[in-house]
Structure 1
Amino acid sequence: MSETVTATASPGISTGRTLSVRGLGKSYGTGSAENWIIRQLDLEVPPGEFVAIVGPSGVGKTTLLRSLSGLVPPSEGGVFIDGVECNEPHPEVGVVFQDYSRSLLPWMTTLDNVAFPLQGKGMKKAERLSIAEKNLAAVGLGGKGHLYAWEMSGGMQQRVAIARALAYESKILLMDEPFASVDAQTRLDLEDLVVDLHVNLGVTIILVTHDIDEALYLADRVVVIAEKPAHVVDQIVTGFGSHRDQVETRSDPRFAEARGRILTRLRS
């Protein structure tokens, strides 16, 4: 059984949105060949909270994230934003994918890549570019808007992908193992970037990762999903507050205790 958790929002300037998952289930196939990946999964994420979802490989973490984004319709239950059921991509939900290189259009500059989704909002070009420049600066890429994706490192490309999601004024940001393809030092830098963005913007973030240490370092709450079909088996409020430090936070005795608890739960 999972621990009962009363979640609270993190400080920030965004009013945000509440994301609720009620009895979510996703299956593939029909009849005797039907295979339930997720079933009876419940989750409540209040505005401004940072939630990390961890689980063993192949348990259905990415399937869950795609269901939250509206890209994959659930087989049962539903996803709700401020009480309204979400059956398709929501205009206030941004997604940052693991394969960032394929999500950037190679024939567009970095600035144009970030501004491109804003065309759907009917903005004039000057306004789109201004918003794109502001969000590139927010992720540490001010003055780099003239570069193309192929001229940038993997870490810089992922910063562009994050800037694009922020530029769309997403109240909820979904991240699918966004740092899995970069080197160790770049990964630490990107983790700290996301911590800063979360604190400064107050955006709700839901991160899917297989890295337990990353989940504990970044999140206000770690949700553990396991078993087949997958459902929530444990939840841990990290309690580290808004200040995180790669050495200090990971050396905290609570960090080691929580890591051990999650590992034990996943291996049981």
Structure 2
Amino acid sequence: MIGKRCLVTGATSGIGAVTAEELARLGAEVILVGRDPKKCEEMRNRLEQRTGNDAVHSMVADLSSQAEVRRLAETVRERFDRLDVLVNNAGALFLERRESVDGIEMTFALNHLAYFLLTNLLLDRLKAAAPSRIVVVASDAHRGASINFDDLQSQRKFKGLRTYSQSKLANVLFARELARRLEGTGVTINALHPGVVNSSFFSSGEGPAWWVMRRVAGLIAISSEQGAKTSVYLASSPEVEEVSGAYFVKQRNVKPASAAQNDEVASRLWRVSEEMTGLVTSS
């Protein structure tokens, strides 16, 4: 990865932090993105010390805010003329309904629309570095889910896990649709399931439900190091240089759920995402 420039969102903890460290260890120039300025700077220093790589940058953005996503993209565009790898990793699970600063249900805003908006805003930098790669951290939680266009923001009925699963299905559909649109550009995009990872993902909430989830995660979850392997693989391995629109589990190309292979739904989700972000994209 020497000579490659990689941007990793959600890079201050969990699999995002491990992904960023492993890419830095492989010699890549790494741009860390996180919400907390202190944690971003601490992670940047940590990576430099642990990898001996001084080409590590940190940028601060709350990706649930579309204005913040746009500001981040503009900063990246001002500082860098190309981007070899974009790892869309930031995400969260909310057991109670809440809305972003844009008035959008938080799970959908952070887990899907942030991926959609940031990726599209940085596409020209990815095309400039082709062959380049986009990595989408999704989840096997997408299996059994569907995109409820009639209640996309769970206003009528909210269940945290179901809403999360819908957002992860949206991730896989986004990767599928964008892969189609990027054919012939030299830019690939693939989605992945990292596994059930025992990371800060499960430490963010309070209450009985979160306590149960933490206990279960402690029993069955894998480490962040194990969970980051497929992200690093998709970002760096020559084996997948020309693979696009696929879904990976444990570094293997597997079939996602049938709902994630529906091109009509993927196209409709794209159009809705354009409307919700005010973004005009090429077909």
TM-score, with length taken from structure 1: 0.29
* Greater per-residue strand proportion: 1
* More relative contact order, 1 or 2 (CA 8 Å, 6+ apart): 1
Normalised TM-score (structure 2): 0.28
Name whichever structure is richer in helix by fraction.
Answer: 2
